[in-house]
Structure 1
Amino acid sequence: MSGRGFSLVELLIAMLLGLVLLGFTVQIFISLAASSKQSQQLAQLQQNGQLALNLLHNELQNTGFWGGVSLNDISQAAVEIVPPAPDCIEDELDSGSFPVAGQAFTSLYGKVATSGRQLNCLTSLAVDSEVLQLKRAIGLAVNSAELRPNRFYITPHWQQSRFVSQDSPGLEVDSLYYPYQHLVFYIQNQRVDGKIIPVLMRKRLVRSAAGSARIATDSVIDGVERLHFEFGIDSDADGRLNYTLPTALMRREHWQQQLGHIVSIRFYILVRSTLPDPSYVNQQIYQMGTIRFEAPDDHYRRLLLAGSVYFNNAAF
């Protein structure tokens, strides 16, 4: 009959079909949203991980380089620069940013982070991650006219090397000056928008506008959760690696090159997504050389990367 409306049964069937279609649509939307979040997090992990990998590789490759003189020569260098306060110093192992008469000057060392203040300049460290300190000359020598006001330099000499700045007296026109860096890498947990995010941090020696030495602090890459280092030792001075030790097993004599020379370093970087994904539970185990990290059944994705550097230009 024309003009007759829908019956109750027809309405119920139509509503049921509509709910089914709506359920499928919602499910597809949720699946697409989860897939999009997963893709975004994986892309973020790859990007942050590659940045961290490149950074450490670039910073480590000049380790042990002092412009053609040995670390022992550098430890006896003339210093007319007031050190930063506070400086990054490991008591009884290292004198800090510059050599000090009667004290050890160590160019490379690491340690496992614990709670409390460390190296006299680090606080709020991510416990069980590792700290790496390094000092070296950058292999791009300049002349006295090219010295920059925000840097310190080393001028190597077979009689006595010298640490200088742009304003140091007695700069020689025909001398070569290598930029000098003192760096410390570590992980710090920071609160951002109510969430705790691990951040790769860097301390570095800089020269202020007033000409004084100070230690600057940089937040470098978000999401870097763990660092682990293993050091290659040449124990018989033939230029070849004889054995490898993780940071926790390195002794003072290793850092001071008394049990052989440190000729390489292998580093492991564990990167974590900065935001959780409630639909994902991480129960994986990440093997970082001799140690491993067990994800605590949380909602963060992670990516493990590794790299290594051999110190071809090291002069110990």
Structure 2
Amino acid sequence: MTRSLRPLPALRTARGFSLVELLVAAAIGLILLAGLSTLFVNNTRTQAEIEKTHRQVENGRYAIDLLAVDLRNAGYFAEFNPTLLATPAVLPAPCSTALADLHAGLALAVQGVDDGDAGLDCLDDLRAGTDVLVVRRTAACIAGQAGCDAASGPGPFFQASLCNDATELNSPKVTDFYALSLDTAGLTRRARNCSVPAALRRYKTHLYFVANNNTAKDGIPTLKRAELVADGAGAAWRIVPLAEGIENLQLEYGLDLAPAGGDGVAELTAADPAKADGCAAPACAAGNWRGAVAVRLHVLARNAAATAGWVDKKTYTLGRKADGSSNDIAAAGDPYKRHVFQALVALPNPAGRRIP
């Protein structure tokens, strides 16, 4: 009697998947992998855009805050009251390092150049069509004190007199009330007791401008500041990058032009005070700038990196032009996202001194 042979259980369980089953499994795996890859790429791209936006907002706000802080200190000269100075016959050249022009600039806490580059040879790579802001003041701290610059070496330095005698505060000449020098030589003004030297402060002139590049030919517009520094040969300008992606800076000034000295409140807003209120003569231009008591800041910030698939078709309004028309910046049509930042900054030092 013969028996039929049956496959052993171990052999039956050892059989693999069929070719069809493997192909189906591979197809499902590829579909899942494609979905996960797409999700990962989209999330990465979204995160990159969020980071770009954060950097843009951070740079725009930082630029506004930096300008606002300096403007609030504009016209600060310690114990010296610059309203005693005569208004200069002509506007001081912003880039001039001559000591005579530095003295003339003391009467003008702020000054600006509206959409131009004439006489701005000290500003390298200035972006066309943007404004330039000049802020003049002294340091809030006394040179040589902890946390402040040293009271030696190159300046410029400013010294306000507190000595009430015939050679200083009782002198008929306002120029005896203070001293301004590129170094410590000639700073002979005295303290209240008239026996020891008065405190020294660093004299600061800052020129804010927008450059086409942060570093050479990188194509990233950047807010920069030219700082007046002195060396053994005289004075020079040091350029300091401040905020990347700042593409445009436009300014409007609140002017107190009341003939009796004003009350510190602006009754006129102008993009170019030198031409405001029918002004044409150089002396009138200087007088208008002296009446600046507030500044409205308009900053256009741009992403430093392009966004794939994006085309900027927006028009941005940055205040008004000198002729009163809207200052519209046409759509760039490029792959960079932009945002406008604005602020109105009062100038407490020049405005407060105009209050009767």
TM (norm. structure 1) is: 0.79
Counterpart residue number, 1:180: 203
- 1:257: how far off? 1.9
Counterpart residue number, 1:305: 341
Counterpart residue number, 1:73: 85
- Alignment of 1:167 with 2:185, yes or no, is yes
Letter in 2 for 1:281: V
Describe the shift of the 1:185–1:260 C-alpha distance in structure 2 as closer, same or farther (beyond 3 A).
Answer: closer
Counterpart residue number, 2:59: 48
Counterpart residue number, 2:212: 189
Query: Is the 2:157–2:201 contact (alpha carbons within 8 Å) kept by the matching residues of 1?
Result: yes
Letter in 1 for 2:184: Q
- Distance (Å, rounded) in 1 between the aligned partners of 2:58 and 2:50: 12
Name the structure with the higher helix share. Answer: 2
C-alpha RMSD over aligned residues: 3.3
Query: Is the 1:97–1:182 contact (alpha carbons within 8 Å) kept by the matching residues of 2?
Result: no
Query: Is the 2:87–2:286 contact (alpha carbons within 8 Å) kept by the matching residues of 1?
Result: no
- Alignment of 1:151 with 2:169, yes or no, is no
- Distance (Å, rounded) in 2 between the aligned partners of 1:259 and 1:48: 29
3-state SS, counterpart of residue 66 of structure 1: coil
Counterpart residue number, 1:100: 100
Which has the higher mean CA deviation after the structures are superposed, 255-264 or 38-47?
A: 255-264
Q: What CA deviation, in whole Å up to 9, does each residue of 1:179-208 have, x standing for no partner?
A: 311111111112759741111111111122
Counterpart residue number, 1:111: 113
Write the mapping of 1:58-69 to structure 2, written as runs, cut at 5 A.
58-67=69-78, 68-69=80-81
3-state SS, counterpart of residue 185 of structure 2: coil
Q: What CA deviation, in whole Å up to 9, does each residue of 1:257-290 have, x standing for no partner?
A: 2487111101122222211121443333333223
Query: Is the 2:160–2:189 contact (alpha carbons within 8 Å) kept by the matching residues of 1?
Result: no
- 1:227: how far off? 0.8
Say which of 243, 253, 265 aligns to 1:240.
Answer: 265
- Distance (Å, rounded) in 1 between the aligned partners of 2:23 and 2:202: 80
- Alignment of 1:212 with 2:231, yes or no, is no
* Gap regions ≥5 residues in structure 1: 77-91
Write the mapping of 1:123-142 to structure 2, written as runs, cut at 5 A.
123-141=124-142
3-state SS, counterpart of residue 58 of structure 1: helix
- Distance (Å, rounded) in 1 between the aligned partners of 2:92 and 2:215: 34
- 1:58: how far off? 1.4
Q: What CA deviation, in whole Å up to 9, does each residue of 1:230-266 have, x standing for no partner?
A: 1001122122110211248656566512487111101
Describe the shift of the 1:72–1:295 C-alpha distance in structure 2 as closer, same or farther (beyond 3 A).
Answer: farther
Describe the shift of the 1:142–1:309 C-alpha distance in structure 2 as closer, same or farther (beyond 3 A).
Answer: same
Letter in 1 for 2:58: Q
Write the mapping of 1:260-279 to structure 2, written as runs, cut at 5 A.
261-279=291-309
- Distance (Å, rounded) in 1 between the aligned partners of 2:154 and 2:214: 31
Describe the shift of the 1:184–1:71 C-alpha distance in structure 2 as closer, same or farther (beyond 3 A).
Answer: farther
Letter in 1 for 2:300: L
* Gap regions ≥5 residues in structure 2: 1-11, 162-168, 191-195, 321-326
TM (norm. structure 2) is: 0.71
- Distance (Å, rounded) in 2 between the aligned partners of 1:143 and 1:193: 36
Letter in 2 for 1:12: L
Query: Is the 2:87–2:287 contact (alpha carbons within 8 Å) kept by the matching residues of 1?
Result: no
3-state SS, counterpart of residue 43 of structure 1: helix
Name the structure with the higher strand share. Answer: 1
- Distance (Å, rounded) in 1 between the aligned partners of 2:187 and 2:311: 62
Q: Number of aligned pairs?
A: 298
Query: Is the 2:317–2:329 contact (alpha carbons within 8 Å) kept by the matching residues of 1?
Result: yes
Counterpart residue number, 2:9: none
Which has the higher mean CA deviation after the structures are superposed, 21-30 or 289-298?
A: 289-298
